[in-house]
Every structure is written in C-alpha cells, then in structure tokens.
Amino acid sequence: MLLALSRAIDRLNMLIGRTAMWLILLAVVISTVNAIIRKAFDVSSNLWLEMQWQLFGCVFMFCAAYTLLMNEHIRIDILNARFPRKVRNWIELLGHGLFLLPFTLLMIVDGWPFFMRSYLGDEQSFNSGGLPQWPAKFLVPAGFLLLFIQGISEIIKRIAVMRGLIPDPHDRHDTEPVGTREPEPV
C-alpha cells in the first residue's frame, strides 16, 4: 500500500515537473520578444519582465520535487560514492527524515500565511504595469508541499530498498547519461 502511494506521488511530480520545464521555453520567448521590442521600438513593459521572473520562480519551485525524484539534488557525491551502499541508504533515510521533511513542513507552515496575506490584500507589483504578486507567493507553499510529499515517497522507497523489497531506483548504469532516465517502477 505504501509503495502504491509512492508510485502515485512519483507520477504526480513527474507530470508537474515535466510540464513546468516547458515554462523555461515560454520565459525565454517572452524575454527575447521583450528585448527585441525594447531595442527596436524603444517600448517596454514591466508586465513582461515580471512575467519572466514569475515563470522562472514557477519552474524552480515546481521542479524541486521532480529533481528529488530524479535523484539530481545537490549532495557531495565524491564522499557519498566512497560509502558502502548500506551507509548511503541510511544517510538518505536520515537526511530526508531529519532535514528535508521538517524544513519543507516549516516552509509550508510559514509560506501559507505569506501567500494568504498577499492574496487577501490583492497585493500588486510596485512597478507600473506589473503583475499581481500573490500568484508568485503561492508558489512557495505549493512547491514545498510537492517537495514534502516527494520526500515521503523517497523515504518509502528507501525503506523498501533496505528491506530488499524493490531494486534501488537510483542505481544507474554506466552508459546512462545523468538526468535522462525514467525512475524505475516501484
């Protein structure tokens, strides 16, 4: 049952992460068109500049859980590779349980009132022609919620690996480029 929950969380974050990645292309197109119009016609708008910022914020916050799912988060791989598999499993389990989950929970709890004040006050940009600020502030609790549930999925999978119930979904073959693989079905 827990492995089924883990698979559902993985599917959700895979879908959100792959969809959010396309926002980078949209931000680049907006940036390019804005720069061309600004240079060619000496016309600009704060709306387009702020839209770029919000799109990049959306990608960053919504792809954090996807990055964890793909095992591409930052760690000291030089040291990690020197440890035996059993030690690495315990480091992952304890790191997720003692650091990742409490931190993400704190960010959700603190981020929600941050968003709600902005939403209820209909907070707008200080810049002329800018965007509302509450959608960007919603990204904080939403992104950390996705990261929190992905952390739970990773703990479930790590315990299953340690018990020998599933193969390690983060084991790679030498011929496989980093970031190109699909996570193993759990």
Residues 6+ apart with CB under 8 A from 41: none
* Tokens at 134, concatenated: 């509450």
**Residues 117-173 pLDDT 10s:** 999 999 999 888 889 999 999 999 999 999 999 999 999 999 999 999 999 888 764
How many angstroms separate the CA atoms of 154 and 164, rounded?
15
**Residues 36-88 pLDDT 10s:** 998 999 888 889 889 999 999 999 999 999 999 998 887 767 777 788 989 98
How many angstroms separate the CA atoms of 176 and 186, rounded?
20
**Cβ-contact 94, 155 below 8 angstroms:** no
**What per-residue confidence (pLDDT) applies to 178?**
47
**Cβ-contact 45, 129 below 8 angstroms:** yes
The per-residue DSSP string of 90-123 comes to HHHHHHIIIIIHHHHHHHHHHHHHHHHHHHHTT-
**Cβ-contact 109, 28 below 8 angstroms:** no
Q: What is the mean pLDDT of residues 30-34?
A: 92
Higher pLDDT, 31 or 79: 31
Axis-axis angle for helices 134-162, 101-120 (nearest 10): 160
Domain residue limits, the chain: 2-162
Residues 6+ apart with CB under 8 A from 63: 17, 20, 21
How many angstroms separate the CA atoms of 21 and 114, rounded?
25
How many angstroms separate the CA atoms of 156 and 160, rounded?
6
The per-residue DSSP string of 137-169 comes to HHHHHHHHHHHHHHHHHHHHHHHHHHTTSS--T
